[in-house]
Structure 1
């Protein structure tokens, strides 16, 4: 399959953002569009690879730039600062997510009635927020994502079917937090599934996690089995809703 790619500049409020688009050119029919939201590192090569993987599955895939101007962190302190900048102003963060969603729907080849979103770590929190605020996504998948809420969803207001892929040995997002998330989703009457992955740490989908763990002393870890199982669960979810 020939994958076409493009860097797309877009605006959200007063900020400029640089997204990354990927899609296959083998099919002229409208197809589902999928948003990807990055880890705290930013829209780096790992997220570009995931965008290509989604395009290879037949989707139009758009990776968002939540930090603006294509900024990418190279160290944890920088990543934390960039992430905190978004989390401390979720009104602007929500505007950036909505801008990305609108940008996806405007792409040639996207079926506007079929869309989804996936996110990693920080990005997992962002796509869950999109679901909580009731964006008309068909499905949302979070991979080792933060689970805290910035919005209390009214019962029945969550339109997306939700998949949360969580490492059982994730020391950054505890099992108590996972239980709290489940209670929240039950109260909101959401359609959700939790995939708990034995032995998996935070960052289990990213092969760079082991390097970062050793380099920076962070409790991260890549696990191939968890990576493959969670990706397969995402595909099953998309096959169900699309």
Structure 2
């Protein structure tokens, strides 16, 4: 059952001085609810990311689509997206610094129960929320969709507070099944509670209905998969319900 929601844009500043603009969506409610951070694909905080935030709000969560690049920059050009994404790798702490600023901003909203926080991420955004979890952020759940799994800062035992759900396409040519195996070893070594779902026949970008169009325009190996999208979203909501309630 969906509920009536409200939305607003929120300007916030990361510790590195970057001016960021997030998109907040929450149920029309007098009671503070669990909050979910939404990290975008490398295209930036676009309509797709905002749609996912609104969907979460309709299901009873407060959601905050974060801005990783500053000034809510977005693109549909893969070369530009790659350039912006790589800039966030220039300094070791940039990703966690900007994601932490977004998580703090989410937690500070009056509609949010700051004791019940989670994060989800798509593609590059999946790496963002995984690195946030690896940093020891106060998250109860983290869910990724066709995420970049590699990291320069592997999880350490006792550091990750979240239960992690990784959702991956079997035919993803950008993140291999070997990368998934490496991630599994990392999680096991750090004694993290996690689950990995592999979707048969699915490629990178499987959750985004715009993936085929972006693939054609940019010559990149993306593809939408409706079955994988629906199954992965159902698994996400099941984990959020278990960890956050609602």
Same topology, TM > 0.5:
yes
| Match of residue 18 from structure 1 | 21
* Structure 2 residue matching 1:124: 3-state secondary structure: helix
Runs ≥4 residues deviating over 3 A: none
TM-score by length of 1: 0.98
Which sections of structure 1, spanning at least 5 residues, go unmatched?
Answer: none
| Match of residue 33 from structure 1 | 35
Cα shift at 1:223:
0.3
**Distance of 2:155 and 2:214 partners within structure 1:** 35
The match for 1:48 among 44, 47, 50 is 50
| Match of residue 78 from structure 2 | 76
Provide Cα deviations, 1:1-24, integer angstroms capped at 9, x if missing partner: 322110111001221000000011
Preserved contact between residue 129 and residue 150 of structure 1 (Cα < 8 Å): no
Cα shift at 1:221:
0.3
**Distance of 1:222 and 1:92 partners within structure 2:** 30
Map 1:1-242 → 2, pairs under 5 A: 1-12=3-14, 13-25=16-28, 27-242=29-244
TM-score by length of 2: 0.96
CA RMSD, aligned part only? 0.9
Cα shift at 1:202:
0.1
Cα shift at 1:212:
1.1
* Structure 2 residue matching 1:87: 3-state secondary structure: coil
**Distance of 1:90 and 1:41 partners within structure 2:** 21
Cα shift at 1:69:
0.6
* Structure 1 residue matching 2:93: 3-state secondary structure: helix
What is the number of equivalent residue pairs in this alignment?
241
Deviates more, 1:161-170 or 1:83-92: 83-92
